[in-house]
Structure 1
Amino acid sequence: MDLITIMNELFQPGTTLTTGEILGSLLLTLVLSVFIFFVYKKTYDGVIYSRDFNITLVIISLVITVIMLGISRNLVLSLGLVGALSIVRFRNAIKDSKDVAFLFWAITVGIVNGVQMYKLSIFSVIFISIVLFLISKKIPIKAGNYVLVLKSKGNKSEKEVEKILDKFTKKFHLRSSLFTKENNEYVYEIRIIKKSETLLMRYLNKIEAMESINLISHTGDIVE
């Protein structure tokens, strides 16, 4: 077999997809991606839920399925899609690592259904969903974790602040400090004793050199 014959066989269209195969792949992807949509919504623990991002997960799954159905049957199309996708630039950065995981999950469902491995797709979605619900229910977020941002004049206030933190927090950690000619800024990660937020703010406000106090709730863990 000469080179020309080999190239002709590689670049000729593959077997034609039936309407049933196309509809089957797309419908299963739609069902599973909508299921992921509800899992994301139920397990979301952030401040602002983005419905647009969640809808994007469904769309991405369907688009990836179409791509995989196409490139699995035609080498020319697969090379063209690789070239087209290589010039795509994503401008919106995804800051939440959990959102990135859901995005990869949606893409994976699209890929697996696109190559018609339906059993793998169904079982993986069920298994991952169970794991997510178990983690979100059994490992609750610790309450009372905050970021405390303070601005004050002079260096003496730092000792006063830490005395107050010793009294009203279970644990605190100085994350960063910034000194300028006008004022000093301190950023603490703290775990406040239950129902002591108001008292903590009052005592900090009594410090003469204190200019501003910002107490921000967050879902992370304090450094040991």
Structure 2
Amino acid sequence: MENTVNKFDTQLIEKLFLNSSVEISLSSFITSLITAAVLSYLIKKSYIFNSQSLSNKDYFSDVFIPLSVITCLVISVVKFSLALSLGLVGALSIVRFRAAIKEPEELVYLFFCVGVGIATGANQIIIATASTLVIIFILYIQSAFKRTKEKENINLGSNNILKVNITNKRLSIEDIIKRYEKFTNYLNLKSSFFEKNLSQHIFWVEFKNKKAYIACLKMSETLPDKGVEISFYSNSKIIE
């Protein structure tokens, strides 16, 4: 009895740690690779359409397909051997990836591709496909909601700047504020600068809607003749 137990333990240790040959179904492996490539292609299209990243989207998303396929390859090989799995951990601890991730959104999509590669490499084709479609749908809804909100509310006030230069001493900043208040949700003075023949004022502003902003522009066209210079600045688009 004791010899049988010892023999069983020896065989188990050999299976777990010795570098025995691993037989992988070729058809299953090819199916996993193709699925990983197709799903990562869908992720790439979703990233290009939904992302608001400032980097080159086409260039960055080119890594999605090879990343998923390579992850699928690695998982397909190491999932049968604990020794290979431990070796992979050691290899990754040596290799240092120095690619600069500029935005958290980029990291999310990279992790998305890695997750697809892991799922397909583990032969979880249905789970990988369903999860990818659901996540892409959520990203699309989130992006569509954000774009709709931006069109309705224009921008956050911290993104819009109104600069007023007054060279006519008969005009006061109070007169200018009264002109613009009816077009804005708020108009907050952030800084003022005074010279002999010039007073400069900078505001953070949030316009009520697109029509209010257009009306504000039309009104501003008449002010330079009265000794007032008006400038608008925005970190993002005011009007689409």
Q: TM-score, normalised by structure 2?
A: 0.65
Residue of structure 1 aligned with 2:118, choices 93, 111, 121:
111
Counterpart position of 2:235: 216
- Secondary structure of the residue aligned to 1:93 is coil
| Alpha-carbon distance, 1:53 to partner | 1.6
Q: Compare the two structures and name the one with the higher helix fraction.
A: 2
- Could you say what the CA RMSD is over the residues aligned between the two structures, in angstroms? 4.2
Q: Summarize deviations over 1:146-205 as a string: whole Å, max 9, x none.
A: 51346789xxx9877765552332x2475x95899x9x9967362354224635766898
Code of the aligned partner of 2:182? K
Give the corresponding residue for 1:93: 101
Go from structure 1 to structure 2 and tell me whether the alpha carbon gap of 1:116 and 1:150 turns closer, same or farther (over 3 Å shift): same
> Where do residues 1-224 of structure 1 align in structure 2 (5 Å cutoff)?
1=6, 5=10, 7-13=13-19, 15-45=22-52, 50-86=57-93, 87-97=95-105, 99-137=106-144, 140-143=148-151, 144-145=154-155, 147-149=159-161, 163=178, 165-169=180-184, 171-172=185-186, 188=204, 190-193=206-209, 194=211, 195-196=214-215, 198-199=217-218, 214-217=233-236
* 1:127-147: CA deviation from partner (whole Å, max 9, x where unpaired): 223333344446623222151
CA distance in structure 2 between the partners assigned to 1:186 and 1:96 by the alignment: 32
Q: So what's the TM-score if we normalise by structure 1?
A: 0.69
State how far apart, in whole Å, the 2-side matches of 1:148 and 1:203 are: 21
CA distance in 2 between counterparts of 1:61 and 1:185 reads 53
8 Å contact kept, 1:145–1:192: no
* Higher alpha-carbon deviation: 49-58 or 204-213: 204-213
Work out the percentage of aligned pairs sharing the same amino acid: 22
- The answer as to whether partners of 2:180 and 2:216 remain within 8 angstroms in 1 is no
Q: Kindly indicate whether the alpha-carbon contact (under 8 Å) linking 1:205 and 1:213 is maintained by their aligned counterparts in 2.
A: no
CA contact (8 A) 1:173 1:190 kept: yes
Could you say if the C-alpha distance between residues 179 and 20 of structure 1 is closer, same or farther in structure 2, counting changes exceeding 3 Å? farther
Assess, with a 3 A threshold, how the Cα gap between structure 1 residues 208 and 24 changes in structure 2: closer, same or farther.
same
8 Å contact 1:13–1:73 — kept in the other structure? no
What is the Cα deviation at residue 215 of structure 1? Answer: 2.7
User: Displacement of 1:78 after TM fit?
Assistant: 1.9
Matched residue count:
213
State the AA in 2 paired with 1:10.
L
* Structure 1, unpaired ranges of 5+: 220-224
Distance of aligned partners of 1:152 and 1:117 in 2 relative to their CA distance in 1, 3 Å threshold: same
CA distance in 2: counterparts of 1:130 and 1:46, whole angstroms: 19
How far, CA to CA, are the matches of 1:81 and 1:179 in structure 2? 61
Instruction: Name the CA distance, whole Å, in 2 between partners of 1:142 and 1:10.
Output: 56
Given the superposition, is the C-alpha separation of residues 93 and 134 from structure 1 closer, same or farther in structure 2, using an over 3 Å criterion? closer
Q: Deviations over 1:58-114 (max 9, x none)?
A: 2221121122112212323222322232342333123153x3332222121111001
Counterpart residue number, 2:168 = none
Instruction: Give, in whole Å, the separation in 1 of the partners of 2:217 and 2:155.
Output: 14
Q: 1:166 to 1:84 in 2, by over 3 A?
A: farther
Q: Partners of 1:7 and 1:160 in 2: how far apart?
A: 86
